[in-house]
Homo-oligomer: A and B are copies of this chain.
């Protein structure tokens, strides 16, 4: 089933203990699309500036099952993020953010994308996310991501938005901020009461928790030995998860558990190198093989 993502396309400059990059391809919608394309066709909506490099444009457009015709090009500069990871690499330190054209982004969903059934609203303002949903004819499964900034500054808009979504993904810090509750299970229960049928709390290298009225599912992260750059892990997780859901057309709790297993493994590849480098090297078979290995570790 058609899968749509709306989010950022960025030029990332990143420093980790294992190296650094300058203006490499990043952004939530990009990581999501590449993670999901192993499973399903993806429709990508985002915005770049006139300065967006030709070679990166090629990367976005090269995969035959990523439809990037929804990427607008606006006068101005592309969104840039500069960050660094230190110590145990769980938390990025933002050095600078230039929103540029992403700051004025008003997503216009192309006519032929409006019948999308699986919708991922990558991190962005809740009003912008709402405006996307309003353009979709009849979404089947909508997942929303958010971040501290929106929880603090646009709380009411966010609460309004998540009333009607199927799932929300957020990290542990965001779950605590949203609920003012430090215990994650209590926090997850509180978020379920806000509307979403599923709450997915990502705990970085510690895995994730899926909560629903019917029960919980907890899954550790794959114990990656070579974490080179954690950027995009959350969006890759979401991309693998939703790609799997869209492929299997099954949004039961049981299948969502399986989807989260796939999301976990796809994210584990992404963090082994900068930008999309690992996604450019691996195949669906590599993902399947690591899923089997991981299942062995959990048995």
Contact = CB atoms under 8 A, between A and B. Distances in A.
Interface of A: 17, 87-89, 176, 182-186, 203, 205-207, 209, 215-220, 223-227, 257, 296-299
Contact of A218 (B88, B216, B223): B223
B182 A218 contact: no
Contacts of A226: 183
A50 B218 CA distance: 47
A298 B298 contact: yes
A88 B203 CA distance: 13
A206 B209 contact: no
Contact of A216 (B186, B209, B223, B227): B223
A218 B87 CA distance: 22
Contacts of A182: 17, 87-89
Nearest to A216: B297
Contacts of A209: 223
A218 B183 contact: no
Contacts of A296: 215
A225 B185 contact: yes
A218 B215 contact: no
Contacts of A89: 182
Given A206-B206, A223-B184, A215 B297 contact: yes
Nearest to A186: B225
A205 to B, nearest CB: 8
